[in-house]
Amino acid sequence: MRSLPLPLALTARLLPVAVLASAGWALTSGPFAPTPTAEHKSAQEPDGNKASAPSTSAATKTYAASPAPCGSVSVSTVKSLVPGAKTAGREIPSTDKSVRRTCSWNALKGFDYRWLDISYEIKKTDQDAETTYKQRATEKSGGGAVPGLGDAGYSVVNLTTADKQQMREGVVLARVSNALVTITYNGSDFETKKAPSTDVINKGAIKAAKEAVAALENAQKS
């Protein structure tokens, strides 16, 4: 079969990943990195000569560390969502695996391209996670709630076109106590230049999100 040049849209998609991976990309600078905000601290002033008692109202940290992201979805799901990809996935380097971990799968099978990212982020408290979740959902406007996905779930799908080549991307955000889960799933056909339907991308992203949330919850129980 005659070898074809790599499509420009695919090259543009893969090149930044190679550069970021080789540089040891920390998700603190990624597209879903939290916006720096002042930490909220509550404290009581001493009353007269009374010694201040230790706080008993501090939020419990349900999740202390992120699970292994490359094992967060089943082999069958990877094969279904990213045909032709290595099912083991590739974990993106992180400066602190106890805080952020991401796994990526991508493949070009024939002319059909798919990309899947699963990211975990552990915040200090439930309130921190809730605040960040709301900020990111607001930034990714135009989507809707995903019922039954953790404590809160949100999904949005967008279509982009470059040089007549369509790319459709779905993002699912989920908050589970003090943990955040982000799924990014996109695809395109480099022969027809068309993107998969909104339904295909949205359902695929939500399916991966449900498995990723279940993996987080199961890791906490073990």
Digit-coded pLDDT (tens) for 145-196:
999 999 999 999 999 999 999 999 999 999 999 999 999 999 999 999 999 9
Supply the pLDDT for residue 219.
Answer: 87
The more confidently predicted of residues 61 and 23 is 61
- Digit-coded pLDDT (tens) for 10-38: 454 444 334 333 333 333 334 444 333 33
Residue 91 scores a pLDDT above 80: yes
- DSSP notation for the chain: ----PPPHHHHHHHHHHHHHHHTT--GGGSTTPPPP-PPP-------TTPPPPPPS-PPP-S-SS---GGGSS-HHHHHHHSTTS-TT-EEEP-S-TTTEEEEEEEEEETTEEEEEEEEEEE-SSHHHHHHHHHHHHHHTTT-EE-TTSSSEEEEEEEEEEETTEEEEEEEEEEEETTEEEEEEEEEEETTT-PPPPHHHHHHHHHHHHHHHHHHHHHHHH-
> Domain 8-31+64-221 belongs to what topology?
Protein Transport Mog1p; Chain A (3.40.1000)
